[in-house]
Amino acid sequence: MQMFIGYAGIGLFLVLVTLVMEKTRKTDADFSEYSTAGRSFGPFYGTMAYLNTFLPGTVFISFAGLAAASGLIGFYLVAYSLLGMFLMYALAPHVHTWGRKYDLRTQSDLLRLRYRSRTVQIVSAAIGTIATIPWIVLGMQSLALVFETLSFGAIIPLGAVLISVLFICIRQIWTVRFGMRGIIISDLVQGIFAYFVGTVVAVGLIVWLITNGHGFDQVPPSFFTLPGAGSSLGPLYAVSIVLTGALGTWCWPDIFMRLFTANSARTVRKTAVQAAPLLLIFGTAVLLVAFLAASMPEVAAAPDRVWFTVAQVGGVGLLTIVGICVVAATMGNVGANLQAAGTLAANDIVGAISGTRVHSARTGKIAVVAVTAISGFAALFTAHVTSGLLALALVSYQGIVQLAPTLLLGIFWKRGNAVGAVGGMISGFTTAAALQIAYPVSIPWLGGLTSGVAALLVNVLVYVGCAYAIQPKPELSSHLDELWTAGAETHEPVEVRQ
């Protein structure tokens, strides 16, 4: 009976999201509209969409698990997400205006325009797709923990992963059909459940923990400190993961696709202002639950399950609600990542290599289906991973952050060129991969830098070195002047270094 209640709750939530999407259904005229939703959504939709990007379902599991296992360092999620909101505010004028004027569909499409290079487009799309797959798998694994927990022992981990993959595949029917329009509309419903209901539940659990012998005085003293000199992680580890998170957040392909769905740059900026306080309140509340619950023996034994372990005090009803919160946050994030990876494959890899501009929405749908299948198989092959799921998130970030110099410097600095962009991305990605294998957590002889930050240094050196070593061609300078003029036509100018 308990399993029936839990699974029925999840099923009803899926039906609700599906009905909302069906009610707001609109046929997309072409691939551009399919991938950008006609650039038609306002700030509240944007707020829920961006929260679903910055705060996926794994916040309740792997990030909360870090706070439950290690304390204060787990709150780095809030720090880097808020920094990411500042970047959103700064990026809005150029990125949105360029997207609308030049019919840009993806992050790699924007980089092709900025550097006038299909090679930059293909390399960035390949890195974006490769780094996104582990993040999608992480989302599926997060869902698997929900289904395993709500089965109350009836389903083994492998079975839970199978159910998770099936659930995502069913959800993807509507994602594939409706494209980014379906993603944004469903984000609204999912965001209300995940972040508003989730915050209320988290505050309630904090009150219960404090009043039942799990206050701050019961938390180990080590939880109140960050890794410093002499620690196994190294004094630069905390700075590294915050920097990787803040820069990497704006390198994920799905966030640019969400940005391109906004109806104006002003909307994007308003979204950043609205989302920041919600992110601060929700993220702090969820992580504080995990922080306080560390004094519970059951949580210490399985930190990744902290959200469900504490919620058991409310019985099957509360467990079902917290499960829906995880599912709500996960559905949109996984769906958007699958949509982004599929669009990248169609528009920026296949389309760029063939030298043609994709016009049919059917091509994008086929690509999304293919990426979904690949991700599902990957999740099944990693079904034995039932703890320490944060490792998957960190691996993804080490790779995706290698797009940061090409992307961020390219938008704010005219000097960079295609040679530096390609050289920086490839050298950074390969360096990060090699260091990640040798040092999965941090690099002791670099003071605790992560593989991604160490590789980022190589990446930036190559990018900047090429920027000064190669004299820009007159036609490229003229092209960049045109872009910056376009970016300033309707919005306040962005300061540019010459």
> If you write DSSP's letter for every residue of 395-459 in order, what string do you get?
HHHHHHGGGHIIIIIHHHBS---HHHHHHHHHHHHHHHHHHHHH-SS-BGGGTTB-HHHHHHHHH
Spatial distance between the Cα atoms of 161 and 168, rounded to a whole number of angstroms: 11
- Are 99 and 110 in contact by the 8 Å Cβ rule? The answer is yes
Spatial CA neighbour of 138 closest among 441, 406, 378, 429: 378
What are the Cα distances from residue 81, in Å, to 1, 84, 246, 409?
A: 40, 5, 6, 20
8 Å CB contact between 58 and 306: no
Q: Which of 199, 196, 211, 191 is nearest to 313 (CA)?
A: 211
CB atoms within 10 A of CB 482: 10
Q: CA triplet 24, 25, 31: central angle to 5 degrees?
A: 130
> Is there a domain that residue 480 lies in?
no
In the structure encoding, which two tokens stand for residue 465, read together? 């070195």
Distance CA 342, CA 366 (A): 8
State both tokens at 298.
Answer: 């059951």
Measured between alpha carbons, how far is residue 372 from residues 18, 239, 334 in Å? 18, 34, 10
Q: Are the C-beta atoms of residues 157 and 456 closer than 8 Å to each other?
A: no
Q: What per-residue confidence (pLDDT) applies to 316? A: 92
Model confidence, pTM: 0.85
Residue 153, SS3 per DSSP: coil
Let me know if residue 219 belongs to a domain: yes
**Number of structural domains found in the chain:** 1
Residue 401 maps to a domain: no
**d(Cα 243, Cα 278) in Å, to the nearest integer?**
21
Return d(Cα 238, Cα 76) in angstroms, integer.
Answer: 8
What are the respective helix, strand and coil percentages of the chain, to the nearest 5?
A: 80, 0, 20
Q: Which structural domain, as residue segments, surrounds residue 374?
A: 2-388
Residue 495 included in any domain? no
d(CA 492, CA 481): 16
CA-CA distances (angstroms) from residue 316 to 4, 120, 155, 214?
10, 51, 16, 22
Question: Would residue 123 count as lying in a domain?
Answer: yes
Task: Please state the separation of Cα 109 from the chain's center in Å.
Answer: 19
Q: Does residue 47 sit within a domain?
A: yes
Classify residue 42: in a domain, yes or no. Answer: yes
pLDDT at 409: 92
- Please give the backbone phi and psi of residue 28, each rounded to the nearest 5 degrees, phi first: -85, 135
Q: 443 - beta bridge partners? A: 449
What CATH number does residue 369 fall under?
Answer: 1.20.1730.10
**In the prediction, which pLDDT does 362 show?**
65
| Nearest residue to 140 via CA among 287, 318, 335 | 335
332's CB contacts (< 8 A; 6+ apart) are 49, 52, 183, 186, 187, 190, 191
DSSP letter for 105, please. Answer: -
pLDDT tens digits in sequence order for the chain, 498 residues long: 788 888 999 999 989 988 888 776 666 556 777 767 777 788 888 888 888 877 888 889 888 998 999 899 999 989 888 888 888 777 777 787 888 888 888 889 889 999 999 999 999 999 988 888 878 887 887 888 899 889 888 888 778 888 888 888 888 777 777 777 878 888 888 989 999 999 999 999 999 999 999 999 999 888 998 887 778 888 999 899 899 888 888 888 888 777 788 888 788 888 888 888 999 999 999 999 999 999 999 998 889 899 999 999 999 999 999 999 999 998 878 877 887 788 888 778 877 787 776 656 566 667 777 777 777 777 777 665 544 455 666 677 888 899 999 999 998 888 899 999 999 999 999 999 899 888 888 899 999 999 999 999 999 999 999 999 998 888 888 888 888 887 666 544 334 333
Q: Flag whether 402 is in a domain.
A: no
